[in-house]
Structure 1
Amino acid sequence: MEQVEREKIAYDCDVLVIGGGIVGLSTAYAISRAAPGTRVTVLEKEPGPARHQTGRNSGVVHSGIYYRPGSLKARYAVRGAAEMVKFCAEYGIAHAVTGKLIVATDRAELPRLHALVQRGRENGIPVRELGAAQITEYEPEVRGLAAIHVGTTGICDYVAVARQLAAASGARIRYGAQVLRIDRRPSRGVAALTRSGDIVRARVLVNCAGLYCDEVARMAGDDPGMRIVPFRGEYYELACPELVRGLVYPVPDPAFPFLGVHLTRGIDGGVHIGPNAVPALAREGYGWSTVRPRELASTLTWPGSWHIARRHWRYGAGELRRSLSKAAFTSAVRRLLPAVTEDDLVPAAAGVRAQAVLPDGTLVDDFLIREGARTVHVLNAPSPAATASLPIGREVARRALTALAGT
C-alpha cells in the first residue's frame, strides 16, 4: 500500500537546491553534467544570483597556500583555482592570474611566513621567497622585512561566474522564492513552502543557504551541530590605485580564520583594501545600523559565541577599533603601504562571512558537508568557497545523486 502511495506523489523535481549563490549553482551545474536528465530546481530568496557572500568579496582566486595539507580547503582550492581560470576563459568571463605577495612587516611574523612556504610546497603550490629589496620588484610602494610570491593566485568576476553556472546548469531557477518551511519524510521525499505560498516537492534536498544554512537544516529536521555566527568584513576603495599593482596580503594569524587587511586590485582596475572582521548584528548586517533582534539573539544565545569572545577578545577589540576609526584602519594599511593616507581611503560595500561555530567556540576551519535522510547540507563554506566552488559542487552533487539513487 505504501508503495502505491509513493508512486502517486507528483514530484516537481528530483533535486531541490536551496540557495542561489555560487555553491548552490555549482551543485546544479555538476548534477546536470554527472546525470543528464535529472530535474533540478534552485530556490533563491533574492531577485537574482550571488547577492551575498559570492557577490560581496574581493574577487580573489585563491591558490590554497593557507590551508592544512589534505583538508578539503587545500585540495579543493588548489584544484578549483585551475578550474576557475579555465571556466572563465571558456565562457569569456573577466579574470587574470596576477600572483600575490604575502608580506611580513614584523620579525615575529617571519616564522609564520616560513611555515607558509612549507605549507605551500606540501600543497603543490609554487612559491618564491623574497628579501626586503626584492619586494619592490613586484610592488614598488610596498614595504616589508620579507615576503613570498605565490604565482597561481588570480582574480575574477564571481557574479558573472554564478550567472554562467545558472545558465549552463539546465536547472529551473526561481528567484524571489524564500523558503519558510520544509516537510521531510524519508518515505515520501521533501516539500518546501515558499513565501509566495508555492510548494515544491522533490526527492532530495540540497541545502546551500549560506548565511542561513543552519536554519534550513533545522527546518528539514536535521541537527546541524553548529551555528552560523556572522562576521562583517568592511572594505575601503583606494583613491590612488596606482600605488598597488596586484594583490598584497599580510601574514595571517593561524589562531583566527581571517587573512587580515589586504590590498586587492580587481578586474575593474580599482583597488580594494580590507576586510576587517567584526560581529554583524544580523546575518545580512552589512552595516552597524542593520539589526535583526531574532538573528542577534540566535548568536548571543549560542554558547560558542561567548567562548569565542573570551578566547579572542584582544583580536576582536583591534578589529572593532579599526571598524569604528578610519585612522586606525589606515594605520593597519600603512604597515604594508606606507604612502597611503586617511584621505586615500573611500568607503566601499561590506560583506558578511557565514562562519560555522561549534558549541565549544571552535571556529570550523574546513568546509563542512553533512547528510541526512534525503538531505545534503553545506554547513561551512566561507572563503575560499568561491575559488573551490566547482569541486565543492561536484562533491555535493555526488552525495545528492547517491541519495537520489537510494530513493
Structure 2
Amino acid sequence: MYDFVIIGGGIVGLSVGMSLGKRFPSKSILIIEKEDKIAAHQTGHNSGVIHSGIYYKPNSFKAEFTRKGNQSIVEFCQTYDLPYKVCGKFIVATRKSELSALQNLYQQGLKNGLEVEKVSAEEIKEKEPYINCLEGIKVEKAGITDYTKICRKYIDLIQKQGGELKLNTKVINIRNIQNNKILETTQGEIKAKFMINCAGLYSDFITKLDGFRPPAQIIPFRGEYYQLKPNKNYLVNSLIYPVPNPEFPFLGVHFTRMIDGSVHAGPNAVLSLKREGYKKTDFDAKEFFEIVTYKGFWKLVQKHTNEGVKEIIRSFSKTAFVKSLQQLIPEITINDVVSCEAGVRAQALKNNGSLVDDFLIIQNKNSLHVCNAPSPAATASLEIGKYIVNQISQQG
C-alpha cells in the first residue's frame, strides 16, 4: 500500500512526485509509467521553449503558473547545472491587419506582469537581421532548455527522497475498496491511499476508469516540424513567433533555436488519428472512432474549417509549409529545411466544441485528475506540482 501513486512519468507527474516528497517526506510515493522510459510523449517531444505567459488570459492558471514557472525552471536549471538559455522571443506582425492583435497581446502581457516591450522592425533586425515584419513585441525572459534532462533530474531527486518509479506499468482498471484505490496494471495490482492522474494523452481515459465523467475529451493534435539545415542556422538567433491568428486556437508556425543550436520550424496542428500518432500513417481504429463520434469534435471542425484545411495542406505539402515560414523569413527556400520528429498535443475539448484554454485539475476524495495540461505545462511544471500538493494538503 502506497500513500501516493502517480500515473504518468511525464514532466507534470514527475514534478508532482518531487513536490509530494518535499511536503511529505515520510510518505511512500510511487510513479508508474506505461513506457520503458520517462518523458516518452508530450515532454520528450517538446520544443524546449521556456514560455513567458503572454498568451494566456490574466488570472488564469496558465498565466500565473507560466509567469512563476519561467523563473522557477531557470532557477532549477541553475541549481542543478542543466542547460538553458534566456534568449528572448520576438512576436511579430507581418501584415497591417495583425497590428491591432499585436497591440492587444502587448496589453495582455502587461496585465500578466511580464517584461514586454513594443519594438520597431529596425530594432528587431538588430538581433534578427533576416526577419520580415512591420513591428513586434520583445519578450525578454523567454528562453530554451531541455525538458527531458530536467525530467531526469526530477526523478533523481524523487528517488533520493525515497520515491519509487515503475516503468512498463500500464493501468488497465481502477477499483475503489474501503477508500483506497486498487490499480490493476500490466505488472499486477498496486494499492494506493491517494491516486494522482497525470496521464497526459490518456488523462480522460484514466478519469473514466476512476468512475468519473471528465468535463472534456482529449483530442490529439499532431504538430509537425521542419529543421533548418546546419548551414542555414544563421538565419535565426532566438525565438521568432507570428501574431496568433484569432480565428485559430493554436500559435501558428514559428522558429525555435534549440538548446543544441539547431533551428526548428513549426509546428502545424493537424488531427492525429491515434493518441500517440507521431506519423501520418499512425492509426488506431478505436481511438479514431472515439474522436469522430464526439459531438465536440464536429463543432470544432465547423468553427475552424478554413484554417483546419490550411493546416492539412501544410501537413502534406512542403511547399505550402515553407511558404508560411517565408512570411517570417523570406530568404528560406524549400531546399533549406528537412522534416524532423513530430509531437502530439493532448488538447481537452468540451462538448460544445470549444477547447479548454486553461489547465484543468479536478479533485475528488482520494484522487486528483490533471485533465488538461498541454503547453506551457513544461515551463509551469514546478508550479503545477506545488499547486497540486497544496490542494492535497488542504484536503488533509
Residue 194 of structure 1 corresponds to which residue in structure 2? Answer: 185
Whole-angstrom CA distance in 2 between matches of 1:62 and 1:319: 23
The Cα shift of 1:109 comes to 0.6
Residue number among 348, 352, 370 corresponding to 2:340 in the alignment: 348
Whole-angstrom CA distance in 1 between matches of 2:247 and 2:29: 40
Q: Provide Cα deviations, 1:337-370, integer angstroms capped at 9, x if missing partner.
A: 1110001111110000000001111100000000
The Cα shift of 1:121 comes to 0.7
Whole-angstrom CA distance in 2 between matches of 1:362 and 1:372: 25
Whole-angstrom CA distance in 1 between matches of 2:126 and 2:118: 13
Residue 205 of structure 1 corresponds to which residue in structure 2? Answer: 195
Letter in 2 for 1:81: N
Whole-angstrom CA distance in 1 between matches of 2:196 and 2:247: 31
Whole-angstrom CA distance in 2 between matches of 1:256 and 1:374: 38
Contact 1:234 1:274 in 2 (8 A): yes
Q: Percent identity?
A: 43
Are 1:238 and 2:238 an aligned pair?
no
Residue 4 of structure 1 corresponds to which residue in structure 2? Answer: none
Q: Provide Cα deviations, 1:8-64, integer angstroms capped at 9, x if missing partner.
A: xxx2x1011000000000000011111211111000001111111111121000000
Mind listing any 5+ residue stretches in structure 2 that lack a counterpart? none
Whole-angstrom CA distance in 2 between matches of 1:401 and 1:336: 47
Question: What secondary structure does 2:382 align onto?
Answer: helix
Residue 176 of structure 1 corresponds to which residue in structure 2? Answer: 168
TM-score of the aligned structures, taking structure 1 as reference length: 0.95
Are 1:50 and 2:39 an aligned pair?
yes
Are 1:319 and 2:311 an aligned pair?
yes
Q: Provide Cα deviations, 1:368-391, integer angstroms capped at 9, x if missing partner.
A: 000123110000000100000001
Whole-angstrom CA distance in 2 between matches of 1:255 and 1:190: 43
Whole-angstrom CA distance in 1 between matches of 2:392 and 2:344: 27
Residue 301 of structure 1 corresponds to which residue in structure 2? Answer: 293
The Cα shift of 1:298 comes to 0.9
- Bigger drift between 131-140 and 71-80 goes to 131-140
The Cα shift of 1:238 comes to 0.5
Contact 1:179 1:192 in 2 (8 A): yes
Residue number among 215, 219, 242 corresponding to 2:205 in the alignment: 215
Residue 32 of structure 1 corresponds to which residue in structure 2? Answer: 21
Contact 1:43 1:174 in 2 (8 A): yes
Whole-angstrom CA distance in 1 between matches of 2:171 and 2:266: 33
Whole-angstrom CA distance in 2 between matches of 1:109 and 1:132: 14
1:93-132 to structure 2, matched below 5 A, reads: 93-132=82-121
Letter in 1 for 2:10: G
Are 1:226 and 2:216 an aligned pair?
yes
Question: What secondary structure does 1:369 align onto?
Answer: strand
The Cα shift of 1:254 comes to 3.3
> Structure 1 residues 203, 402: CA separation in 2 closer, same or farther (over 3 Å shift)?
farther
Question: What secondary structure does 2:341 align onto?
Answer: coil
The Cα shift of 1:243 comes to 0.8
Q: Provide Cα deviations, 1:175-198, integer angstroms capped at 9, x if missing partner.
A: 11111111124x3310111113x1
Residue number among 262, 265, 269 corresponding to 1:273 in the alignment: 265
Q: Provide Cα deviations, 1:147-199, integer angstroms capped at 9, x if missing partner.
A: 111001010010011111111123201011111111124x3310111113x11
Contact 1:66 1:120 in 2 (8 A): yes
Contact 1:206 1:400 in 2 (8 A): no
Whole-angstrom CA distance in 2 between matches of 1:54 and 1:338: 31
Contact 2:63 2:112 in 1 (8 A): yes
Whole-angstrom CA distance in 1 between matches of 2:175 and 2:394: 21
Mind listing any 5+ residue stretches in structure 1 that lack a counterpart? 1-10
Are 1:389 and 2:381 an aligned pair?
yes
Whole-angstrom CA distance in 2 between matches of 1:238 and 1:296: 33
Contact 2:179 2:366 in 1 (8 A): no
Whole-angstrom CA distance in 1 between matches of 2:205 and 2:292: 15
Contact 1:46 1:176 in 2 (8 A): yes
Residue 74 of structure 1 corresponds to which residue in structure 2? Answer: 63
Contact 1:61 1:153 in 2 (8 A): yes
Contact 1:106 1:145 in 2 (8 A): yes
Letter in 2 for 1:334: Q
CA-based RMSD of the aligned residues comes to 1.0
